[in-house]
Structure 1
Amino acid sequence: MVPVSRLELRARVDRLRSYAPHVVLCAVGAGLAYLLARHLLGHEQPIFAPIAAVLGLGVSYGQRLRRVGEVVVGVAIGVLVGDLMVRAFGTGAWQIALVVGLGMSVAILLRAGTLMINQIAIQGVFVTLYAQTTTGAIVGRWTDAATGGVVALLLATLVPRRQLRRPVVLAQEVLATVADLLLEASSAARDGDVERGRDALAHARGTQERLDRLRAAAAEGLDVARLTPFRRHHAVRAQTVQALAVPLDRAVRNVRVLSRRLAVATERMEVVPEELLALVDELAAAVLRLSEDLGAGRPLDGAVDALAAVGLASVVVPRSSLSADVVLAQVRSATVDLLMVAGLDDASAREKVPARAGERFG
C-alpha cells in the first residue's frame, strides 16, 4: 500500500469535510424513507424508498427535482416492463437481457436522462430475478420510490448557508487567482526570470478546473434557490454569479495568452516597456479589489473605477515589440471582460476602454 503524505491526507480530510452536509442528509434521508415506507405504508421490505432518497439527494444539490422525477418514473417503467416480460417468458439469463435491452430502449425513446435509463434497467433486473409480479408488489415498489423522492425533496430544503454562498466564494477565488497570475507574469518579465515565467504560464493553464467548478456551483445555487423556500433571496446572487461566469471565462483566457506572451518575451529577451508591466500590475490590483468586494457583498463601483483607470492608462502605453503589443491587447480585452464581470453590459464596458490611435477596438 502506497503511504499517504500529510498534505494528501489533509486534502482528503478537507474533501470529506466539504461533503459532510451531503453525507448527513443522505444518511438521514435513507433512514427516514425506510421508516415511513415500513411503518406508514406497511411494506415489509421497502428497499426502494431509501434508494430513491439517496439518489434524489445525491452528492450535490443540483438537479434534485429532475433526479427525483427520473427515479420515480424509472422505477415505474422498469417494474412494468419487467412484469410484462416475466409474465410472458418467465425468468432466466436471456429474459434478463431482453428486459434490460427493451427497458433501456423505451427510456431512450422517451429521451430520458442517464439516471432514469439506469433505473429502468435495474428495476427490470430485480423484477425478472425475483419474479414478484403481483399488482401489489408493482404498486409497492413505485410508492416506495415516491416516498423516498418526497423525503429527498423535503430534506433538500435544509441547505447549509455555506453551500448557498459557494458560487460567490468560487468566483472570488477565481478572481484572486487571476490577480495572482497577472502579478506572477509581470514580476517574472520584469526580473527576466525565464523559469518563473514558465511557472506563471503553467499556473494560468490550470485555471480551467476552477471555472468548471464555478459554473457547476452557480447552476446548483439556482437550483437550490428555486427548491428551498427559506432561501429564495439567494437566487439573485446565484443568478449574478451565473451571469458573470461567461465574461470571467473570457478574462481568464485573455490572461492565459498574456502570461504566455510575457513568458515568450522573457525567453527571447524582448524589450517589454516598464509602463506595460506597471499596467499589468494595476490590472492585478483592480481584479483583487473586484474579488474582495464581490466576496464581501459590497457594491462594485470602486472595482469598476479601478478597471476603468486601467482602460484609460492602456491608451498611452508605448509599443515596442510584437510580444508587448500582444500583451497590451490582452490587457485591454481582459479589462473589458472584467468590467462585464463587475456588472456592466458589453457596450458600457467597451466605453471604459477607449480605442488607441489608429485602432478599432472590439
Structure 2
Amino acid sequence: MVAAGRRGADGGVPARAGDTAHGGLADTVARLRDRALATVRERFRRVRAVGGLALQAGLAAALSWFVAHELLHVSQPVFAPISAVSTIAASVGQRLRRTVELILGVTVGVLIGDLLLLVIGTGWWQLALIVVLAIVVALFLAGSAAVVIQAGATAVLIATLSPSIRDLEVPRFVDALVGGGVALLVTAVLLPLNPLRVLNRAARPALDLLVAQLDATADALAERDAARARTARSALRQNKGPLKAFVEATQGAREASTLSPVHWHQRRGPVGRYAQAAEPIDRAMRNSGTLIRRSVTLIEDREPVPEPLPRAVADLAEAVRLLKRQFAAGEQPDRARKQALLAVETAGHAYREGVGFSGAVVVAQVRTTVSDLLVATGLSQENANRLVRRSFGGL
C-alpha cells in the first residue's frame, strides 16, 4: 500500500484535493462576505452623508407648496416644490446661484413665449421657434445649463398651455420664486448644515489618501521596496474625485456660513481657514505625487537611502494627519506647522548625509510640499518659504 503510506517532503500527510477545494471555496466565500459588508458600510455611510440633505429637501418641498397654495393662492403650485427640491439638490455652495438661475430661466421663457405668441400665434412650428429662441436668449444671457433648461421648459408650457389656461405666466414665475426662496430659507435658517462638518466630511477622503500613500512611501524607502512605492504612486493618482469634492465643499461652507446666521461666526474662523486651505492642499497632493514617483526611481536605480530620508517622508505624513485633526476640531493648526517643519529639518539631514539625483528630488519635494502645507495653515507663501529654508539649514 505505497499510496496509503506516502508522505510529504516535510514528513506530513499531503493535503487531499477535496481539502484544497474546500479551502478555496471558504476563501472565496470569505472574500464575498467581506466585499458585501464593505458595500453595505459604504451605502450606510452615503445615507448618513446625505441624510441632512434629504430632510432639507422634504421640508422645503412641503413648505414651498404651502406658501404658494395657501398664502399666495396659486391653484396648482406644482413647480414650487420642484424648484425647491432642484435648489436643494444643487451642489452645496451653488444654491443661491441655482435660485437665481431658476428665476432667470423662467423669466426668459415667459417673456419669449408671450411675445412670440402675440405675433405668430400657436402651432407646431410656432412651438419649435419659441423654444429655439428662448434657449438662444438664455445662452446669450447666462450660458448656464440650468437657465437654458428652465427657459426651454417654460417656453414649452407657455406655448402649449397658455391658450387653454389663463394667466399661466404669473403662477409659473411665482412658483420659481417661492421654491427657490423657501429652499434658501430652509438651508440657511430652518435646517442649516454645519459648514465645518461639511468640510470635514469632504476633506477626510483626500487627506486620508495623502497620509496613507506618504506612509507607504516612507516604508518603501526604508525597505527599498519598489513595488510598494509603485502601489502608492498608483493609489495617489486616484485623487481627482476626493479633491473635487473638497473644493466643492469649500464653496458650500462659505455659502452656509454667509447665509446662515447660526454660522456667521465661523466665516472668518475655522471655516474660513479650512476653505482657504483647499488650493494649497491640492498643490501639496500634486507635489507629493512627484515625491512618490521619484522615490520609485530612487529605489529602482539603487541610489543611497540615508536613514533620515524615509523618516522625513513619514514626518510629512504625520504633518498632514495633524492638519486634518486640527482643522476638524476647529483649532489653529500650530502642531501641524511644527510637524511639517520637522519633516524639512529631517530632509536636510538626509541631504547632508548624501543622496543621489532622485534622492535630491525627493528632498526638494519634501520642502515644496511642506511649503504648501504651511500656506494651508494660513501662512503667506513668503513666510512659508522662509521657515522652510531656516528649518532645512539655510539652503
TM-score relative to the length of structure 1? 0.89
Q: Kindly indicate whether residue 181 of structure 2 is the aligned counterpart of residue 146 of structure 1.
A: no
After TM superposition, list the pairs within 5 Å mapping 1:103-118 onto structure 2: 103-118=134-149
Partner Cα distance (1:153, 1:100) in 2 = 29
Q: Which residue of 2 aligns with 1:346?
A: 381
Match of 2:314 among 277, 281, 284: 281
Contact 2:122/2:159 (8 A) holds in 1: yes
Partner Cα distance (1:358, 1:304) in 2 = 18
Contact 1:167/1:221 (8 A) holds in 2: yes
Q: Which residue of 2 aligns with 1:290?
A: 323
Q: Which residue of 2 aligns with 1:54?
A: 85
Higher-Rg member (1/2): 2
Q: Which residue of 1 aligns with 2:343?
A: 310
Contact 1:96/1:128 (8 A) holds in 2: yes
Match of 1:177 among 202, 209, 216: 209
Q: Which residue of 2 aligns with 1:229?
A: 261
Partner Cα distance (2:365, 2:242) in 1 = 21
Cα 1:11–1:163 shift into 2, 3 Å: farther
Cα 1:76–1:357 shift into 2, 3 Å: closer
Q: Which runs of 5+ in 1 are unaligned?
A: none
* Residue identity (%): 33
Contact 2:304/2:354 (8 A) holds in 1: no
After TM superposition, list the pairs within 5 Å mapping 1:112-131 onto structure 2: 112-131=143-162
Partner Cα distance (2:331, 2:348) in 1 = 29
Cα 1:31–1:132 shift into 2, 3 Å: farther
SS at match of 1:156: helix
Q: Kindly indicate whether residue 304 of structure 2 is the aligned counterpart of residue 271 of structure 1.
A: yes
Cα 1:7–1:108 shift into 2, 3 Å: same
SS at match of 1:74: helix
Partner Cα distance (1:177, 1:7) in 2 = 18
> Counterpart amino acid of 2:228?
R
Match of 2:127 among 91, 96, 101: 96
Cα 1:358–1:238 shift into 2, 3 Å: closer
Q: Which residue of 2 aligns with 1:77?
A: 108
Match of 1:220 among 231, 241, 252: 252
TM-fit CA distance, 1:255: 0.9
Q: Which residue of 1 aligns with 2:57?
A: 26
Cα 1:56–1:132 shift into 2, 3 Å: farther
Cα 1:6–1:306 shift into 2, 3 Å: closer
> Counterpart amino acid of 2:257?
A
TM-fit CA distance, 1:337: 1.2
TM-score relative to the length of structure 2? 0.82
SS at match of 1:218: helix
Cα 1:122–1:202 shift into 2, 3 Å: same
TM-fit CA distance, 1:267: 2.8
Match of 1:322 among 352, 357, 360: 357
Contact 2:131/2:155 (8 A) holds in 1: yes
Contact 1:172/1:294 (8 A) holds in 2: no
Partner Cα distance (2:55, 2:72) in 1 = 25
> Counterpart amino acid of 1:249?
D
Contact 2:83/2:176 (8 A) holds in 1: yes
Partner Cα distance (1:111, 1:209) in 2 = 27
Q: Which residue of 2 aligns with 1:246?
A: 279
> Counterpart amino acid of 2:331?
R
How many residues align structurally?
Answer: 356
Partner Cα distance (1:7, 1:101) in 2 = 48
Q: Which residue of 1 aligns with 2:42?
A: 11
Q: Which residue of 2 aligns with 1:209?
A: 241
Partner Cα distance (2:330, 2:59) in 1 = 33
TM-fit CA distance, 1:191: 1.7
Contact 1:164/1:224 (8 A) holds in 2: no
TM-fit CA distance, 1:216: 0.6
TM-fit CA distance, 1:184: 0.2
> Counterpart amino acid of 1:115?
A
Range with greater deviation from structure 2 (313-322 or 121-130): 313-322
TM-fit CA distance, 1:200: 0.8
Q: Kindly indicate whether residue 311 of structure 2 is the aligned counterpart of residue 261 of structure 1.
A: no
Provide Cα deviations, 1:215-255, integer angstroms capped at 9, x if missing partner. 11011110111111222112123321221112111111111
Provide Cα deviations, 1:155-189, integer angstroms capped at 9, x if missing partner. 12234544542214444553343232211012122
Partner Cα distance (1:224, 1:90) in 2 = 46
Contact 2:52/2:193 (8 A) holds in 1: no
Provide Cα deviations, 1:276-300, integer angstroms capped at 9, x if missing partner. 1122122222332222222222332
TM-fit CA distance, 1:201: 0.8
> Counterpart amino acid of 1:31?
A
